[in-house]
Structure 1
């Protein structure tokens, strides 16, 4: 196996080296006391004498009590240092993984379920805690005890030690073999658990649909099935480890039995005392249990590597399809809002055989309002995604004020763009926080929030809530109506003061009363901004300066509403003819 695989895990504890040095120092104290204890017991047994006074025994007990107190305190401190360091390591790796996930492009999320990713962030990372710190500490202590115990055994009885010197390599080789087998099994366990989390996440995300169609039993059956798959894989691994534990236990006690038999023979021959045999047995138990602990740790370590392979793949992966900058953007680069598509051809990563856009060219001037219409799959949302830099064109280029993403950078472009979607995206926090999320910088005041809320016709209904702007909206804004959520997202977009605005079916899911309020808010939002409207409603489209009609990724018509409605054979009339007011249709 590649050594770097092990080093990657061990590098996680590097920032906590000082804490771990303290822990190791304290551990050495506990190991030293543990190794001396059998020798003291041996001395006590061999020097038992009825002629000794009670004061001698009391003094001996007092000294031992003091030593054991030191051992207990050192053990407690060792446990705290390593366990707390483990918690710190887990927190750090979760932050690194979360940061790596945030950096991934949108195509990454097209391929991965959110439930799977959150499982990686919780369960997979948790595996590191016990193994990487406490497990590593126990293994290191066990190794020290094992080595020290072997030395003490050799000093006590070289003849008896031969048995253990045969047993130790066998146990360590057995542990290494088990670890190699456990790694792949653990990787499968984590994947099956991630799959089960994905099923649960989908059930809960669509809970209203589940209840509406009375599909609770189906949802439970699907989850039960995925859990049973994970259970079967885990049970298989447990069975394998149980077999190893049973075999190792037999070997341990078998070696102890042989040791006692040889030791009894040595005592009868006068080559060994009862106290020495007692201490030898204690040391043998120490060495055997320590060797077992080292072997167990290796199995756990390999299981950890298998369980966390995917974590490190994500952390070390470079987001694909991200523009590589040839020019470092500065605050001096200010976009005016001109957009140009030049011969753009694009296919989604998951559907490479289907062209979402094919040799598409279009220019939008700063401040122009352009409506994109077409049937489902025509490429409207794809254009918005390319403007936001979610994906990169396979061929051709998208230019902003004549400059490409390669030169400006997606992050810098997005600082001039706002989007209002059909289904508003809200966090579960307060209304204030959701609006403030749109700010380009963190320097936003309460007055700023109120100002944009008034422009979005949201201030009145927000103030009607008992907590006002501190009202918690619930997950995805479940506590608010559709129109209220939409106006909050418009306020958020206004706060950004964008040069480019994308309206993705912003009013299509609203009733007439809500649409009127939202449309008034959108009128305020669109003033003096380059606006791309993805829409099907006539009330939205008629506000556009130009209408672009798409069909299967190509531009088939463009012009004003008055120009396009004259062509009854055109796609625009086919799509919109039924929405054109009767009196206007008659005038055609």
Structure 2
């Protein structure tokens, strides 16, 4: 048997070993008292006539009462210590898993659905809570009761213990056999639960789209089918558990029936008293129930192994290396040298093919081209989300692959077309830009003023403490953009990436956002992924991309003079389609 998976999970107990040791002491005290009760009952039965004549001695009553109180206190404390240890382990495991996941490269999240990862983080981790401490506590208690009970049985009547000698190994064998099946079935259950969680997360995240297309019934159907598959896997597991439980109960009652019949025969022969048989039956019940618990725990433990296999596979993932050069400042000079790149999910298609480009410090370069031309890929490479597949990217004189990813990103800021906001307050979303230090309220407000956001923030009753809702749902598009601009200003980057930052705004909002962008862009190297003509005509240089290659470079006027060039053709097409100068450069 491979012991590595078992040890891997048992190591989780190390941080709470103090609590577990105290819980084990309480457990030992409780088991000793529990093992004494059948002996006491036997004494009462065999001395019933004497007690009837003289009464029960007061010291005996006090002793029994004290033992009951001590048992209750030990049981209560044992339960608290094991349960609190379990909660600490679950929290620690979740934090470890989250820390590993959040540090994975972006390519990892391209391959794993957020709903699946969330299910692993919550549902799968609970399986550890059920078995590792609570289940382990029960099995340790069962072991103690089992060992003490067997010793008492042998002391009372070795001959009468024979029927149990058959029941115990058979029940443990059944537990082992069923446990082997449980592990695979539990893995299937957790996978199907993760799949249904993925479906739910997708539809909740896009609930406005679901309502816009009246797809509520379709969403319910897709979730119902996924949940049905999870139910089928769970019921298969339940059927196996039911068969196992029924088999154990049958063995238990057969063993007790044999014990009763054999015990009555021994009483008739004068080799056993009624009190001793009663005590024997009580001890036999303890032993058989403990043996059943041990067998059941093995099955439960194997279910836990199956349910948590994926968790430990994820925990073994190596986070992206954060070592490398950490320059204190960058001027913003960029250089692409024959850069090629293919996304891991689309290895047959080149997203960039031999791109060479130089950007001077403080220069504004607009990237234009049709969808799939490579504009967003350049932004992804600048942010360090992916390493280039060929060639190299230089930041000043530093090769991007030689820089620590976190150090590189400290000098880069991004303003997206649809800004990503968290569900906290406006101030928290602005402060998000600087994780390295505490940001004062004065800094937050100063950046908001420059981003043209201060006035509308103060118009809210809670001001900067206004909760924006999930993905900023309580704010308009222009308000979200200006908060994103304020966030980028707080970062004070050398390199700024504007990913179609005004393409989805109306004219009034665009004017305010553009004013904030002008403040943000001043003195910084700026890469503009262009969508509207108004956002690129003032760029120092326009780079036209097609099929992952650069096909033209120059100012707006220079490129228009090349009447047969891709840029001029793009302008003619868009102006003919929209009939206005601020028309998008690419079809939506």
Q: Tell me the TM-score normalised to structure 2 length.
A: 0.96
Aligned residue for 1:101?
101
> How far has the Cα of 1:112 moved from its partner?
1.4
Aligned residue for 1:484?
479
Aligned residue for 1:329?
325
CA contact (8 A) 2:559 2:567 kept: yes
3-state SS of paired residue (2:159): helix
CA contact (8 A) 1:372 1:534 kept: yes
Aligned residue for 1:72?
72
3-state SS of paired residue (2:311): helix
CA contact (8 A) 1:424 1:485 kept: yes
1:76-103 Cα offsets, whole Å, 9 max, x none, are: 0000000111111111111111111111
Within-5 A mapping of 1:204-223: 204-223=204-223
Out of 353, 362, 367, the residue aligned to residue 367 of structure 1 is: 362
Within-5 A mapping of 1:113-132: 113-132=113-132
Within-5 A mapping of 1:441-480: 441-480=436-475
> How far has the Cα of 1:323 moved from its partner?
5.9
Aligned residue for 1:9?
9
The whole-number CA distance in structure 1 between the counterparts of 2:397 and 2:570 is 33
Aligned residue for 1:422?
417
Out of 340, 343, 349, the residue aligned to residue 348 of structure 1 is: 343
CA contact (8 A) 1:500 1:529 kept: yes
Out of 511, 520, 523, the residue aligned to residue 518 of structure 2 is: 523
- In the alignment, structure 2 segments of 5+ residues that lack a partner are 582-588
CA contact (8 A) 1:369 1:532 kept: yes
1:551 partnered with 2:546: yes
3-state SS of paired residue (2:501): coil
Aligned residue for 1:200?
200
Aligned residue for 1:387?
382
1:398 partnered with 2:393: yes
The whole-number CA distance in structure 1 between the counterparts of 2:462 and 2:51 is 84
3-state SS of paired residue (1:247): helix
CA contact (8 A) 1:415 1:440 kept: no
> How far has the Cα of 1:53 moved from its partner?
4.7
> How far has the Cα of 1:304 moved from its partner?
0.9
Within-5 A mapping of 1:83-232: 83-232=83-232
1:33-67 Cα offsets, whole Å, 9 max, x none, are: 11111111112211222465554255433321211
Aligned residue for 1:27?
27
3-state SS of paired residue (1:56): coil
CA contact (8 A) 2:46 2:274 kept: yes
Aligned residue for 1:378?
373
The whole-number CA distance in structure 1 between the counterparts of 2:244 and 2:385 is 50
3-state SS of paired residue (1:573): helix
CA contact (8 A) 2:387 2:401 kept: no
CA contact (8 A) 1:323 1:392 kept: no
Aligned residue for 2:431?
436
CA contact (8 A) 1:421 1:503 kept: yes
Q: Tell me the TM-score normalised to structure 1 length.
A: 0.96
What is the RMSD computed on CA atoms of the aligned residues?
A: 1.7
CA contact (8 A) 2:322 2:406 kept: no
CA contact (8 A) 1:373 1:534 kept: yes
> How far has the Cα of 1:425 moved from its partner?
0.5
CA contact (8 A) 1:538 1:580 kept: no
Out of 501, 506, 529, the residue aligned to residue 506 of structure 1 is: 501
The whole-number CA distance in structure 2 between the counterparts of 1:201 and 1:91 is 23
CA contact (8 A) 2:322 2:405 kept: no
> How far has the Cα of 1:155 moved from its partner?
1.0
Within-5 A mapping of 1:260-271: 260-271=260-271
3-state SS of paired residue (1:49): helix
1:484-511 Cα offsets, whole Å, 9 max, x none, are: 0000000000000000000001000111
The whole-number CA distance in structure 2 between the counterparts of 1:471 and 1:243 is 56
The whole-number CA distance in structure 1 between the counterparts of 2:580 and 2:79 is 83
1:215-245 Cα offsets, whole Å, 9 max, x none, are: 1111101111110100011001000110110
1:487-536 Cα offsets, whole Å, 9 max, x none, are: 00000000000000000010001111111111111111111101100012
Worse overlay, 265-274 or 499-508: 265-274
Q: How many aligned residue pairs are there? A: 580
* Shift in CA distance, 178/38, structure 1 to aligned 2, threshold 3 Å: same
Aligned residue for 1:305?
305
